[in-house]
């Protein structure tokens, strides 16, 4: 209704689409209505909790009250807590185990499956399929692989008369077990990102290389890999951000044990805030995680932004 | 690798090695799932006596009948459908409106607001989890459907996606509609929205899948058994795992929960892959 009045009025000086378009894009307060509903939820459920969380991290708080101001007390306690330091180390260790593996296997699969054959299409579908499962199902599957007696692994080892490594209970293997389940779960995304990068390499470069009698290794090393360098960095950063948030696999497969050796930061937050109800300290731990993830996200932003410059 | 079809000496051998490796990896993908399906079809007593019995008859559907007989599973499935469906619908509405607003309309402070919304992409759930939980406690939102749905509505990804999509639609379309005296909302609703169906499908499936598989927030917000979502509910039945009691039953439950989502994936594969890759790269 209002628009009908507005359009003719400003279109007055010179009739025609040109002036009308100038008018349509003039800033107007009522246009805000379109973004207001989202901004309401964004503010109340993301921005407010974000700052509330920072504020909480300086307080000794429980569920219903925000308690007393303790300054950096929570952070000081945090960095004196051996379990927290262990969980930071565990998280980095887990990232170190999974991210390179995911990037390399993903790249390998993308290189092999970047063909127009039916088999390649079926295999791509297969390798991505685990990504749609929930963490509950994935951990159930892998616990039944690793479990002694009826486990798939111990059955296979049994055929050769050997004993399977105890991926869940052995302190030195537990995190590796979680990493294996995670790689199995997450391999689809890196593969797909590499595939879409490979498809953007112009075909004529390959034709030129073929005319020059370049062999496959030379083609791979001097054309394919340099062309997807940026995607490789991107995949690594995306995976770092994702794997930093490890929680479900560790909670469901090992409960963080044995001896907190598989307890990641998020599980520490969960334990501290929602099982011991020390919300202030939980909030402080989540701020530490936030800073770590923000650094990776900044790196991602820089890489994505340099796309144009790097060609 | 796909380009040169001209055969070069030694290529056939190399191809075979690569093929063998890919087949090996695909076995690693499939074998655990087949194992789970196999166990789900066996009597527990038989499994305990000899795990190799998976490879021989008799097979039974008893575990599946028990799964379906446990009424909780259906309650959890219903909860998951309500939460994921509600969140998907809400996200589509909010993101379409805001996407149109940011892409097409001008209002004071638009660019600053858009940058703030983009910043939201970098905020992980864990950074706001503790405060959100406390706010929801004060509002008495825990163990309710809206308590499970609302946090997801603050995600920026949908707005980002829809803004990009609206920007790609030629502006002449809106201008023509506006010259015909259509209102802003009419232009949005009748002219532009129908053109965004592919983006709606991508965003819708992505949101639904994410909500369906979400574990952390439902775990801390839905603490009553009849408010569990499927992921949380299933996780809660896994506790007596160590004693290997009813492994076949647990496996049947996993198949029962996993199969529908895999079937949906086969049908909407294109959208799911686009959405997941798009969300990662942004």
Q: In this predicted structure, which of A10-19, B103-112, B230-239 has the lowest mean pLDDT?
A: A10-19
- Is the per-residue pLDDT at B244 higher than 60? no
Confidence category of residue B10, pLDDT binned at 50, 70, 90: low
DSSP strand pairing (A68-69 vs A59-60) = antiparallel
Per residue in B211-240, pLDDT (tens digit) is 998 999 999 999 898 899 999 988 887 765
Confidence category of residue B106, pLDDT binned at 50, 70, 90: confident
Do A224 and B1 touch, CB atoms closer than 8 A?
yes
**Nearest CB to A45 within list B122, B151, B262:** B151
- Is the per-residue pLDDT at A11 higher than 60? no
**Same domain, yes or no: A158 and A30:** no
- Is the per-residue pLDDT at B108 higher than 50? yes
**Same domain, yes or no: A157 and A66:** no
Residue A99: which CATH number?
A: 1.10.3720.10
**Same domain, yes or no: A222 and A141:** yes
The average pLDDT across B67-96 equals 90
Q: A260 is in which domain, residue-wise? A: 75-310
CA angle A156, A160, A164 (to 5 degrees): 55
B135–A49 C-beta distance less than 8 A? yes
Chain A residues in contact with B8 by the CB 8 A cut-off are 215-216
- The answer to whether A269 faces chain B, any CB pair under 8 Å, is yes
Radius of gyration of chain B (CA): 25
Helix axis angle for A152-159 and B11-40, nearest 10°, is 120
Per residue in A83-107, pLDDT (tens digit) is 999 999 999 999 999 999 999 999 9
Chain B residues in contact with A265 by the CB 8 A cut-off are 126
How far is the alpha carbon of A67 from chain B, nearest alpha carbon, in Å? Answer: 13
Per-residue pLDDT, A287: 93
Residues 219-248 of B with CB under 8 A from A: 219-220, 230-232, 234-235, 238, 241, 244, 247
- Of A20, A45, A72, the last residue of a domain is A72
Per residue in A27-42, pLDDT (tens digit) is 788 888 899 999 999 9
Q: Model-level pTM?
A: 0.86
Q: What contacts A6, CB < 8 A, 6 or more positions away? A: A23
**Same domain, yes or no: A284 and A151:** yes
Per-residue pLDDT, B143: 92
> Element (H or E) spanning A60, and its range?
strand A59-60
Percentage of chain B exceeding pLDDT 70? 91
Chain A residues in contact with B180 by the CB 8 A cut-off are none
Percentage of chain A exceeding pLDDT 90? 40
Residues forming beta bridges with residue B149, ordered by sequence position = none
How far is the alpha carbon of B53 from chain A, nearest alpha carbon, in Å? Answer: 10
Per residue in A204-236, pLDDT (tens digit) is 888 888 888 878 788 888 888 888 888 898 899
Confidence category of residue A309, pLDDT binned at 50, 70, 90: very low
- Is the per-residue pLDDT at A63 higher than 70? no
**Same domain, yes or no: A84 and A223:** yes
Per residue in A106-164, pLDDT (tens digit) is 999 999 998 888 888 899 999 999 988 999 999 989 988 898 877 888 888 888 888 88
The average pLDDT across A186-206 equals 89
Per-residue pLDDT, B46: 75
Nearest CA in chain B to A25: B106
Residue for token pair 């051996």:
A82
**Same domain, yes or no: A114 and A170:** yes
Q: In this predicted structure, which of A215-219, A244-248, B56-60 has the lowest mean pLDDT?
A: B56-60
Do A109 and A127 touch, CB atoms closer than 8 A?
yes
**Same domain, yes or no: A294 and A211:** yes
- Is the per-residue pLDDT at B153 higher than 50? yes
**Same domain, yes or no: A93 and A50:** no
Peptide bond into A258 cis (omega under 30): yes
- The answer to whether A133 faces chain B, any CB pair under 8 Å, is yes
3-state SS, one letter per residue, for chain B: CCCCCCCCCCHHHHHHHHHHHHHHHHHHHHHHHHHHHHHHCCCHHHHHHCHHHHHCCCCCCHHHHHHHHCHHHHHHHHHHHHHHHHHHHHHHHHHHHHHHHHHHCCCCCHHHHHHHHHHHHHCCHHHHHHHHHHHHHHCCCCCCHHHHHHHHHHCCHHHHHHHHHHHHCCCHHHHHHHHCCCCHHHHHHHHHHHHHHHHHHHHHHHHHHHHHHCCHHHHHHCCCHHHCCHHHHHHHCCHHHCCCCCHHHHHHHHHHHHHHHHHHHHHHHHHHHHHHHHHHHC
Nearest CA in chain B to A296: B122
Q: How many domains does chain A have?
A: 2
**Same domain, yes or no: A107 and A37:** no
* 3 state SS of A151: coil
The average pLDDT across A193-204 equals 88
Average pLDDT, chain B: 84
Per residue in A154-189, pLDDT (tens digit) is 888 888 888 888 888 888 899 999 999 999 999 999
User: Which pairs count as long-range contacts for B36-42, CB under 8 Å and 24+ apart, including other chains?
Assistant: B36/A140, B36/A141, B36/A144, B36/B251, B36/B254, B36/B255, B37/B251, B37/B255, B39/A144, B39/A150, B39/B247, B39/B248, B39/B251, B40/B64, B40/B248, B40/B251, B40/B252, B40/B254, B40/B255, B41/B248, B42/B248
Confidence category of residue A306, pLDDT binned at 50, 70, 90: low
CA distance A214 to A221: 11
B107–A31 C-beta distance less than 8 A? yes
CA distance B251 to B266: 22
Per-residue pLDDT, A93: 95
CA distance A57 to A80: 16
Nearest CA in chain A to B182: A4
- Of A18, A40, A72, the last residue of a domain is A72
**Same domain, yes or no: A55 and A92:** no
Do B153 and A41 touch, CB atoms closer than 8 A?
yes
* 3 state SS of A148: coil
Q: In this predicted structure, which of A37-46, A193-202, A242-251, B264-273 has the lowest mean pLDDT?
A: B264-273
- Is the per-residue pLDDT at A13 higher than 80? no
Residues forming beta bridges with residue A68, ordered by sequence position = A60
Chain B residues in contact with A50 by the CB 8 A cut-off are 123, 127-128, 131
How far is the alpha carbon of B213 from chain A, nearest alpha carbon, in Å? Answer: 5
- Of A72, A97, A122, the last residue of a domain is A72
CA separation, residue B61 to residues A119, A122, B37, B93, B217 (Å): 32, 29, 11, 43, 34
Residues 86-145 of B with CB under 8 A from A: 93-95, 97-98, 100-102, 105-108, 110, 113, 116-117, 120-135, 137-138
Average pLDDT, chain A: 84
A38–B95 C-beta distance less than 8 A? yes
**Same domain, yes or no: A148 and A234:** yes
ipTM of the complex: 0.85
Distance of CA A225 to the CA centre of its chain: 23
Give the highest mean pLDDT range of A3-12, B105-114, B180-189: B105-114
Residue for token pair 């973004």:
A35
Confidence category of residue A51, pLDDT binned at 50, 70, 90: very high
Per residue in B176-211, pLDDT (tens digit) is 887 887 788 888 888 888 888 888 988 898 899 889
Q: What contacts A203, CB < 8 A, 6 or more positions away? A: B3
Buried b (16+ CB within 10 A) or exposed e, A213-231: ebbbeebeeebbeeebebb
Per-residue pLDDT, B219: 93
Tokens for A148? 């002694």
Chain B residues in contact with A17 by the CB 8 A cut-off are 175, 179
Q: What is the CATH number of domain B68-233+259-281?
A: 1.10.3720.10
Nearest CA in chain B to A124: B26
- Is the per-residue pLDDT at B122 higher than 90? no
Confidence category of residue B90, pLDDT binned at 50, 70, 90: very high
Residue for token pair 């995670």:
A182
Per residue in B22-48, pLDDT (tens digit) is 999 999 999 999 988 888 888 777 777
Q: Greater confidence, B277 or A18?
A: B277
Q: Which of B273, B26, B35, B33 is nearest to A123 (CA)?
A: B26
**Same domain, yes or no: A147 and A123:** yes
């Amino acid at each position: 209704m209002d628009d009908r009045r507005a359009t003719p009025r400003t279109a007055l000086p010179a009739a025609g689409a040109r002036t009308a378009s100038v008018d349509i894009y003039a800033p107007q307060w009522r246009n805000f209505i379109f973004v207001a509903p989202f901004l309401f939820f964004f503010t109340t459920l993301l921005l407010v909790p974000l700052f509330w969380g920072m504020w909480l991290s300086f307080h000794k708080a429980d569920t219903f009250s925000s308690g007393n101001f303790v300054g950096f007390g929570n952070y000081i306690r945090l960095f004196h807590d051996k379990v927290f330091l262990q969980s930071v180390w565990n998280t980095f260790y887990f990232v170190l185990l999974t991210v390179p593996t995911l990037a390399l296997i993903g790249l390998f699969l993308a290189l092999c499956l970047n063909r127009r054959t039916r088999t390649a299409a079926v295999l791509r579908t297969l390798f991505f399929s685990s990504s749609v499962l929930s963490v509950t199902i994935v951990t159930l599957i892998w616990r039944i692989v690793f479990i002694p007696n009826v486990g798939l692994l111990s059955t296979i080892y049994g055929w050769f008369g050997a004993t399977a490594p105890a991926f869940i209970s052995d302190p030195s293997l537990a995190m590796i077990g979680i990493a294996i389940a995670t790689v199995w779960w997450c391999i689809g995304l890196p593969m797909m990102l590499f595939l879409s990068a490979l498809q953007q390499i112009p075909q004529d470069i390959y034709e030129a290389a073929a005319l020059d009698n370049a062999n496959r290794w030379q083609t791979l090393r001097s054309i394919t890999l340099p062309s997807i360098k940026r995607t490789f960095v991107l995949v690594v950063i995306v995976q770092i951000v994702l794997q930093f948030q490890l929680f479900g696999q560790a909670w469901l497969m090992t409960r963080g044990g044995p001896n907190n050796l598989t307890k990641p930061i998020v599980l520490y937050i969960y334990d501290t805030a929602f099982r011991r109800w020390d919300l202030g300290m939980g909030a402080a731990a989540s701020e530490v995680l936030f800073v770590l993830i923000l650094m990776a996200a900044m790196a991602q932003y820089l890489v994505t932004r340099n796309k144009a410059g790097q060609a | 690798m796909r380009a040169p079809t001209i055969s070069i000496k030694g290529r056939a051998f190399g191809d075979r090695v690569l093929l063998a490796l890919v087949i090996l990896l695909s076995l690693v993908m499939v074998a655990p799932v087949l194992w789970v399906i196999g166990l789900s079809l066996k009597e527990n007593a038989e499994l305990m006596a000899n795990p190799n019995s998976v490879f021989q008859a008799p097979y039974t559907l008893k575990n599946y009948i028990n799964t379906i007989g446990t009424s909780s599973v259906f309650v959890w499935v219903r909860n998951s459908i309500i939460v994921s469906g509600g969140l998907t619908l809400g996200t589509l509405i909010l993101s379409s409106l805001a996407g149109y607003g940011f892409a097409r309309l001008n209002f004071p402070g638009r660019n600053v607001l858009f940058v703030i919304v983009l910043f939201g992409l970098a905020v992980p759930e864990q950074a706001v989890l503790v405060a959100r939980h406390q706010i929801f406690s004060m509002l008495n939102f825990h163990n309710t459907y809206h308590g499970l749905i609302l946090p997801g509505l603050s995600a920026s990804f949908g707005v980002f996606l829809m803004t990009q999509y609206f920007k790609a639609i030629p502006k002449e379309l809106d201008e023509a509609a506006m010259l015909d005296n259509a209102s802003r909302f009419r232009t949005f609703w009748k002219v532009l929205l129908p053109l965004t169906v592919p983006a709606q499908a991508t965003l819708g499936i992505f949101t639904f899948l994410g909500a369906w598989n979400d574990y952390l927030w439902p775990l801390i917000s839905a603490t009553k058994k009849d408010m569990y979502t499927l992921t949380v509910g299933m996780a809660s039945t896994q506790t007596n795992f160590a004693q290997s009691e009813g492994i076949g039953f647990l496996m049947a439950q996993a198949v029962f929960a996993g199969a529908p989502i895999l079937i949906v994936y086969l049908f909407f594969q294109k959208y799911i892959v686009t959405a997941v890759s798009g969300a990662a790269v942004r």
